[in-house]
């Protein structure tokens, strides 16, 4: 027996027999106890398949033995090791003290079936036009591959005012596991233009402020008095509006007229900005009362009632108000046995300013004290000669007073003559007192130098549209002789005019323009405002598949207004396509009916009367369009699984020649809706037995030879 095997032994039994005579014999039995039974494993772990990166299982089988203690050993060995699969055999050996041994095995297979995972993937976002697009790329981690590959596919879909950028990332590990992530970036313009004032009277005013102007120096604002910038539109439109809010009086309201001036800037996306100022028109100058001949009625003394003259014809003029009629009041008083008649003429203008002149006529009861008066009256404050550049600069007649002890009446006469090309206005004043004495006359000569500049009337009207005149100019003939054009300077839109002249013609560009004409010699200035509209014929080409719909919006950059209307004038419904106006927009919905070509014509107009024409040419293609790919593959980017037997399946020409291919389809949220190895052009737009919605899906096609293709496929039933 061995020492290591304590349970092995021999038992010897001896029997001895002795008879009566003392004879004896013996018999021996040897019993040998041996341990030849190996241990038995129980609960041996089943073979298992684990994901790459998971730890080795640590559970072990239990061991049963009858006689002795047991020693169990565990050994791992690699059975096979491929690129994406590894099998390890775990061998347990149990041996008892007697050398009896038994083994148990478990196969552990590690595979990589998990796709990479996107970390910190960017969300769908909206950015403003003109802002740099976010460049955040998602991080990718994989349970086994430290450097999975990432590819990016980007496409753009136009909207009515912006685009939707779809970025699709596809992550692939070394075992071909794929995961897709899609981000949508919507680029819009919701920011209104910025209005900046240019005119000196406006630069210090905020939106809604009030500006005060004298009625004599009212400045008419124009669209060019502000500049407009926009984050996306290089040429936003500006509309200027001015309107009278209400009339008032200086005494009650502090103004005669309250006006509102508004600039409205609109970009191509319809975002609007407003700048408004209120203008108070004031008048603090009273009317001027005078006789037709100049001056005012002088006080006088007469001997009898019969010598009292009729009331003088006093007129009133005002710097701002027109058609003012003086009101005459007459009173009688007896002072020192003399009758005093007081005649007062009063005039009030629209602002409430009042002027009054009075004349006293004294009727003496005794001898006229002026009967023996021989002293002539003297004129006071007689005006000097003056030279002006134009007739509008001619001053109003001066009120000349006379000094006399018996009162005097001043009369003015005026005549006009031409000398050496100049116009001479001669005003002569002479005073007569109550005794009939006359003063020496005084004559003022007003010289109007040469001929004032002739400028066109202020024009605020459009000129007819002309097809194809995007860069043309429109000729305006000014009422100036061609040989006199050099005597003037011309400023067009705040810049010197340099386009040259064709006789009397000035070339005005399209848009809203202001022409300022200045006489070099006299400095006389006049201006004209022109609205020149030109519209080119728009041709919009649209390519659609059968039963597909797309919205198109004509370009409005040649329009000058801010409110638009659109109407169809030719072919809204045809055999191959239907054109429908989008409510509330200047856009047209184009619906493809069947394969062919369809044309429609639309006219866009604005509140200024500007018209533009858009012709839409629609080409309708079959529902599936072949897209050439390398190695003879041809992908169809659309199919219509509606059961009509035409284009019901997603077809990839050449796929049947690649038996190891794999096709995977994802929706826009990255969910896999179809997967097939050895794809046989048999997918009809279903997932788990259910019909998936119409829309755009993303496909990844692996040809089985190391080349991967991706793109979009449209389902349209």
| 18, 106: one domain | yes
pLDDT tens sequence across 252-262 = 888 888 888 99
Copy the structure tokens of residue 524: 């006389």
Q: Is residue 312 part of a domain?
A: no
Contact 269, 303 (CB under 8 A): no
pLDDT tens sequence across 154-192 = 888 877 788 888 888 899 998 888 888 888 899 888 899
**pLDDT confidence band for 133 (50 / 70 / 90):** confident
Residues in the chain, how many? Answer: 717
> pLDDT at position 453, please?
39
Q: Say how many domains are in the chain.
A: 6
**pLDDT confidence band for 650 (50 / 70 / 90):** very high
Copy the structure tokens of residue 288: 């001027």
User: Shortest CA distance to 334 belongs to which of 357, 370, 362, 305?
Assistant: 362
Examine the fold and report which residue of 559, 590, 621 is the final residue of a domain before the chain moves on. 621
> pLDDT at position 104, please?
92
* Eight-class DSSP state of 231: S
> pLDDT at position 109, please?
94
* Average pLDDT of the segment spanning 205-212: 90
- By mean pLDDT, which of 51-65, 262-276, 547-561, 591-605 is the weakest? 547-561
User: Shortest CA distance to 103 belongs to which of 50, 157, 147, 39?
Assistant: 39
Residue 461: pLDDT over 50 = no
User: Shortest CA distance to 82 belongs to which of 183, 174, 2, 171?
Assistant: 174
> pLDDT at position 381, please?
74
| 14, 100: one domain | yes
**pLDDT confidence band for 193 (50 / 70 / 90):** very high
* Average pLDDT of the segment spanning 78-91: 91
Place of tokens 């794999």: 662
Residue 89: pLDDT over 90 = yes
| 154, 135: one domain | yes
Number of H helices, E strands in the chain: 0, 57
**pLDDT confidence band for 472 (50 / 70 / 90):** low
Q: Is residue 431 part of a domain?
A: no
Written in H, E and C, the secondary structure of 540-593 is EEEEEECCCEEEECCCCCCCCCCCEEEEEEECCECCCEEEEECCCCCCEEEEEC
| 74, 8: one domain | yes
Contact 662, 704 (CB under 8 A): yes
| 1, 87: one domain | yes
| 236, 272: one domain | yes
Examine the fold and report which residue of 471, 499, 532 is the final residue of a domain before the chain moves on. 532
Q: Is residue 132 part of a domain?
A: yes
130 or 533, which is more confident? 130
| 478, 542: one domain | no
> Which stretch, 224-228, 394-398, 578-582, 632-636, has highest mean pLDDT?
224-228
**pLDDT confidence band for 372 (50 / 70 / 90):** low
Q: Is residue 594 part of a domain?
A: yes
**pLDDT confidence band for 457 (50 / 70 / 90):** very low
374 or 416, which is more confident? 416
Contacts of 200 (CB under 8 A, 6+ apart): none
How many percent of the chain have pLDDT more than 70? 86
| 135, 68: one domain | no
* Average pLDDT of the segment spanning 299-324: 86
User: Shortest CA distance to 63 belongs to which of 55, 52, 53, 74?
Assistant: 74
Q: Across all residues in the chain, what is the average pLDDT? A: 81
Copy the structure tokens of residue 309: 């003259």
* Average pLDDT of the segment spanning 199-210: 90
Examine the fold and report which residue of 558, 591, 621 is the final residue of a domain before the chain moves on. 621
Q: Is residue 566 part of a domain?
A: yes
> pLDDT at position 228, please?
93
* Average pLDDT of the segment spanning 426-442: 82
**pLDDT confidence band for 409 (50 / 70 / 90):** confident
| 106, 3: one domain | yes
> pLDDT at position 111, please?
92
| 556, 635: one domain | no
| 23, 43: one domain | yes
> pLDDT at position 582, please?
81
Residue 263: pLDDT over 90 = yes
- By mean pLDDT, which of 74-83, 562-571, 572-581 is the weakest? 562-571
> pLDDT at position 539, please?
83
| 10, 105: one domain | yes
pLDDT tens sequence across 498-527 = 767 766 677 777 767 778 887 776 666 677
- The parent domain of residue 546 ranges over 538-621
pLDDT tens sequence across 534-544 = 666 788 888 87
**pLDDT confidence band for 627 (50 / 70 / 90):** very low
> pLDDT at position 90, please?
94
Q: Is residue 303 part of a domain?
A: no
DSSP strand pairing (462-463 vs 442-448): unpaired
How many percent of the chain have pLDDT more than 90? 15
> Using CA atoms, how far apart are residues 134 and 430, in angstroms rounded to an integer?
88
> Using CA atoms, how far apart are residues 178 and 188, in angstroms rounded to an integer?
33
**pLDDT confidence band for 626 (50 / 70 / 90):** very low
CA torsion angle for 476, 479, 481, 484 (degrees, to 10)? Answer: -90
pTM to 2 decimal places: 0.43
Q: Is residue 342 part of a domain?
A: no
Q: Is residue 665 part of a domain?
A: yes
CATH number at residue 677: 2.60.40
DSSP reduced 3-state for 372: coil
> Which stretch, 264-278, 400-414, 596-610, 661-675, has highest mean pLDDT?
264-278
Phi, psi values for residue 188, rounded to 5°: -130, 165
DSSP strand pairing (495-496 vs 488-492): antiparallel
């Amino acid at each position: 027996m061995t020492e290591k095997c304590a349970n092995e032994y021999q038992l010897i039994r001896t029997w001895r027999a002795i008879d009566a005579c003392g004879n004896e014999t013996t018999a021996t039995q040897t019993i040998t106890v041996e341990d030849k039974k190996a241990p038995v494993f129980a609960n041996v772990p089943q073979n298992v398949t684990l994901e790459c990166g998971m730890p080795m299982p640590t559970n072990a089988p239990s061991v049963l033995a009858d006689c002795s203690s047991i020693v169990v050993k565990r050994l791992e060995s690699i059975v096979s090791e491929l690129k994406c699969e590894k099998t390890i055999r775990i061998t347990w050996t149990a041996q008892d003290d007697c050398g009896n041994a038994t083994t148990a095995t478990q196969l552990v297979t590690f595979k990589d079936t998990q796709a990479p995972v996107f970390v910190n993937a960017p969300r769908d976002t909206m950015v403003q036009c003109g802002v740099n697009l976010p460049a955040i790329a998602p991080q990718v981690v994989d349970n086994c591959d430290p450097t999975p590959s990432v590819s990016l596919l980007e496409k753009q879909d136009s909207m009515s005012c912006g685009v939707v950028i779809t970025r699709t990332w596809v992550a692939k590990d070394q075992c071909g596991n794929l995961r897709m992530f899609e981000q949508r970036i919507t680029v819009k313009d919701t920011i209104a233009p910025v209005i900046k004032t240019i005119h000196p009277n406006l630069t210090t005013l905020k939106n809604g402020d009030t500006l005060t102007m004298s009625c004599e120096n009212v400045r008419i604002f124009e669209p060019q008095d502000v500049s407009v910038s926009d984050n996306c539109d290089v040429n936003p439109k500006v509309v200027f509006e001015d309107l009278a809010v209400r009339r008032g009086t200086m005494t009650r309201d502090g103004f005669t007229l309250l006006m509102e001036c508004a600039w409205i800037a609109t970009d191509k996306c319809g975002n609007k900005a407003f700048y408004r100022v209120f203008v108070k028109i004031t008048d603090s100058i009273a009317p001027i009362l005078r006789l037709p001949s100049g001056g005012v009625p002088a006080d006088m003394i007469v001997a009898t009632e019969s010598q009292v003259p009729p009331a003088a014809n006093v007129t009133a003029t005002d710097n701002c108000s027109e058609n003012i009629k003086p009101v005459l009041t007459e009173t009688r008083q007896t002072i020192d046995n003399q009758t005093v008649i007081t005649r007062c003429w009063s005039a009030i203008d629209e602002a409430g300013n009042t002027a009054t002149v009075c004349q006293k006529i004294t009727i003496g009861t005794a001898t006229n004290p002026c009967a023996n008066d021989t002293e002539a009256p003297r004129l006071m404050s007689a005006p000097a000669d003056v030279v002006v550049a134009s007739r509008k600069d001619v001053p109003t007649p001066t009120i000349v007073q006379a000094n006399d002890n018996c009162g005097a009446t001043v009369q003015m006469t005026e005549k006009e003559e031409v000398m050496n090309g100049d116009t001479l206005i001669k005003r002569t004043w002479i005073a007569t007192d109550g005794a009939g004495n006359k003063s020496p006359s005084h004559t003022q000569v007003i010289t109007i130098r040469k001929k004032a500049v002739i400028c066109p009337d202020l024009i605020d009207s459009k000129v007819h549209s002309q097809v194809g005149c995007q860069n043309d100019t429109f000729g305006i003939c000014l009422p100036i002789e061609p040989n006199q054009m050099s005597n003037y300077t011309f400023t067009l839109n705040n810049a010197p005019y340099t386009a040259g002249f064709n006789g009397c013609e000035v070339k005005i560009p399209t848009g809203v323009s202001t022409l300022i004409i200045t006489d070099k010699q006299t400095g006389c200035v006049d201006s004209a405002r022109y609205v020149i509209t030109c519209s080119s014929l728009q041709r919009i080409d649209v390519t659609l598949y059968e039963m597909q719909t797309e919205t198109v919006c004509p370009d409005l950059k040649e329009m000058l207004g801010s409110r638009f209307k659109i109407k169809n004038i030719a072919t809204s419904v045809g055999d191959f396509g239907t054109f429908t106006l989008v409510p509330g927009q200047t856009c047209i919905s184009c619906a493809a009916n069947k394969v062919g070509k369809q044309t429609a014509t639309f006219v866009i107009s604005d509140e200024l009367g500007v018209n533009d024409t858009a012709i839409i040419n629609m080409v309708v293609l079959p529902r599936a369009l072949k897209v050439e790919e390398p190695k003879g593959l041809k992908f169809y980017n659309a199919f219509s699984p509606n059961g009509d037997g035409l284009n019901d399946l997603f077809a990839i020409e050449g796929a049947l020649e690649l038996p190891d291919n794999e096709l995977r389809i994802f929706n826009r949220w990255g969910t896999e809706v179809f997967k097939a190895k050895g794809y046989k052009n048999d997918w009809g737009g279903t997932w788990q037995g259910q019909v998936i919605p119409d829309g755009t899906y993303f496909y990844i096609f692996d040809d089985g030879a190391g080349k991967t293709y991706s793109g979009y496929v449209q389902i349209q039933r």
